[in-house]
Each structure stands twice: as C-alpha cells, then as structure tokens.
Amino acid sequence: MAELSTRVLPEATGAPHTTIVPASWYHDPAIHEREQAAIFQREWIHVGHASRVPDPGDYLTCRIGDQSIILLHGRDGRIRAFHNVCRHRGSELLQGAGSVARIWCRYHGWTYDLDGKLIAARHSEKVPGFDRACWGLREVRLERIAGFLFVNLDPDAPPLAAVYPGLAEDWLTLEPELDRLVHAHTMAYDIACNWKIAVENYLEGYHVLTVHPALYKGFDMDAFVWSIHDHYTSMCTGAKETAGEHAYDWDEAARKDLPSYWVWPMVMFERMPGRPGLFTYNHVPLGPARTLQVVDFYFLDPELDEQDRREIDYVDLVRREDRASLEAVQRGIRSKGWQQGPLMMSPDAAGEWTEEAILHFQNLILRRMEAQAA
C-alpha cells in the first residue's frame, strides 16, 4: 500500500473539526468557473476505458468542463486524446461514439488521419507558406492504469504515476482480473447538486444506515476500514453471512468483500461481492448545482447475464437513494441557518461513521483553489 498522507485529528478535549469549504462554494457560479481552471484543467481526469475503443478508428468523445475531447484508437494500436475541434475555423468534429476511417470536418472538409495529422485541406497548396504538418489536431496527454484512461489538459502536470503512487498496485486488491475487464453497461443520472456534494457523500459511511437500509443490512459496517492517501482513498468492508437476504445471491461467491476507491478529484471505483468485475462513478460538473453521474460496469464478458443484471439493479437502487439525499443537501446548503457543520471525527472513530476523508478532500479543494488564485 502507498504511504498514508499526514492527517490531523481533533484533540480528545478540543472542539470538533468542522467543514472548511465555504457554503457558497457549492452554488456560486464564479467558484464553479474557478474550479474548472484550478482543478479540472490541471488534474488527471478519468474519461473511460480502452475497451470502449477496441479497434483502429473507434472513437469516444467526452467532456472536461467546457472542453470536448476525442479518444481515438489509431492504426498503430495506440489510443490518443485530442481536442475535439478543427484547426481551421473551430468547428466541433465528432459527437458521441463510433468508428471512422478518418476524421472529416463537415464545415470545410479538412481531413485528419487517426494519428491526428492533417492530410487534406482543399486549396491549401495555393496558400503561401501553408504547411499541413503544422495544423494537425492538438493532442491531449493521456495515460492509463490497466485499461482505465485518464487525460490531463495541463501539458506541465506531473505524470499519472507520480500523482497516484501505489494506486495501480492497490487496484489489484480491488480486482485481481483488472487487466481482463471490458465495458458492459452504462447508467447516467442528472443530479441537481454540486459535484463536491456527490463526492463527499461517497467519502463517508455515516449515511448508509438511514439512506441505504438494504445495503446496511447486507454488509458488516462494523468492519468498515478506511485508508487515506494523498490523492486517493480506499475503503472496504465485507458481506454478512445471511443467506437469502441480499439483493442478489452472493452466498456462494469466492469473494464477499466490498472494496472501493475514490480517486481525486471526482471518480470512484467499486466492486460488489461475486465474480470478477467492477463499476465506476464519474462525476461530471455541468454547473454549480448540477452534476452528471455516469456509472460504467466492467466484467470479463460484455454480455450481461442474470447475476450481472441483478447487481446493476442493486447499484441503481443505491444511486436513486443517494440522489434524493444529494439534492436535499443542495437545497439546504443555501440556508442562512447553515454555514459549517461538525465532522464526525475522533482518534478512535469507527469506520462506519468517520468523516475524516471529507476533511482530506476539502483540504485538497482549498489547496488547488489557493494555488490558482496566487
């Protein structure tokens, strides 16, 4: 495991820690714009999986804030990321997902090969000094852990492995078959809440008893264990041995733990008990009070069977339960009756109710925002 980050806990006789991100930061449009520049345009952002673009010419578009990005599988087998814009007059090139032999701009017909090089621009040979080699698509940094793809809009950012040391090794604990997983299913939820509210909800188990009664009943919350690292947090508990009381049958499964990881700034990886597989939660900020939560499932076989569908239904239930709570927080956090709240923390806090990981997350937010303002 990677080294744990330095953590500050309250003294036994001192006042409790409170939340440190101002309430206005969860709804202020100006803060939302600052976060785009300070965080989403400078950090490694999870954008998908290599199995979404398995063959040359396959592409997938994604958004990082107001920036549209193309993930494109080249003829050389390499997956690259490009800004989704024609270098001529700024027209968007592709939408959604699909497969192309080349990228052709519908506006003026400029054509790019799968490695981003400009290969055709009508009448450019008549333009003095025009060099096609200078006008290829602008590439975006892309790195991967197993098949999971991350991009960074900052050309000077440190490498992925330097930001998340130990994460690749830790993920083998999450799913030993990590390298063999392929994408199988997607669900998306348009949630009326700030993206930070969605992340903070994931970084504590205190709400599970009241919001997710079936989840609480099926897992041993007394065994909940957290490990906080500089830029990711892992958590794990185990399933209870209570046959017939689960949302789907995992009693005969070889693995009955529930490991999960939050990876800065806004993606989570989780595995349910059962056979190999995992799912991710990507939180895409659509505005100061709106987040698109995209849940992707990965299994050894992309064809879903009955157990897969029951697991998906179970995750959907949990997501819908969370959505109601997240939107209630978004409505309430604008109240003049709330500015800061005490965090459930103590040196001997049980994993079920500690909110220490929220403080860690909020510290990261403040550091990035302060650096951007400097």
Domain-ending residue, one of 133, 160, 187: 160
pLDDT higher than 60, residue 92:
yes
Clarify whether residues 341 and 212 are in a common domain: yes
Clarify whether residues 34 and 89 are in a common domain: no
**178, part of any domain:** yes
Domain-ending residue, one of 160, 175, 200: 160
Instruction: Give residue 372's pLDDT.
Output: 86
**5, part of any domain:** no
**Domain with 352 in it: what CATH number?**
3.90.380.10
**169, part of any domain:** yes
Instruction: Give residue 258's pLDDT.
Output: 87
| pTM of the entire predicted model | 0.92
**13, part of any domain:** no
Instruction: Give residue 3's pLDDT.
Output: 34
CA distances from 231 to 145, 227, 338, 366 (A): 15, 11, 28, 14
Clarify whether residues 149 and 56 are in a common domain: yes
Clarify whether residues 87 and 145 are in a common domain: yes
Q: What is the mean pLDDT of residues 63-69?
A: 94
Q: DSSP assignment, residue 294?
A: E
Q: What is the mean pLDDT of residues 143-161?
A: 96
pLDDT higher than 60, residue 243:
no
- What is the residue range of 326's domain? 23-42+165-373
pLDDT higher than 50, residue 205:
yes
Instruction: Give residue 356's pLDDT.
Output: 96
Clarify whether residues 225 and 330 are in a common domain: yes
**224, part of any domain:** yes
Clarify whether residues 121 and 237 are in a common domain: no
Count structural domains, the chain: 2
Instruction: Give residue 249's pLDDT.
Output: 65
Clarify whether residues 59 and 197 are in a common domain: no
Clarify whether residues 272 and 151 are in a common domain: no
Domain-ending residue, one of 134, 160, 186: 160
Clarify whether residues 78 and 184 are in a common domain: no
pLDDT higher than 80, residue 91:
yes
Instruction: Give residue 342's pLDDT.
Output: 95
Clarify whether residues 66 and 175 are in a common domain: no
Top pLDDT among 8 and 242 is at: 242
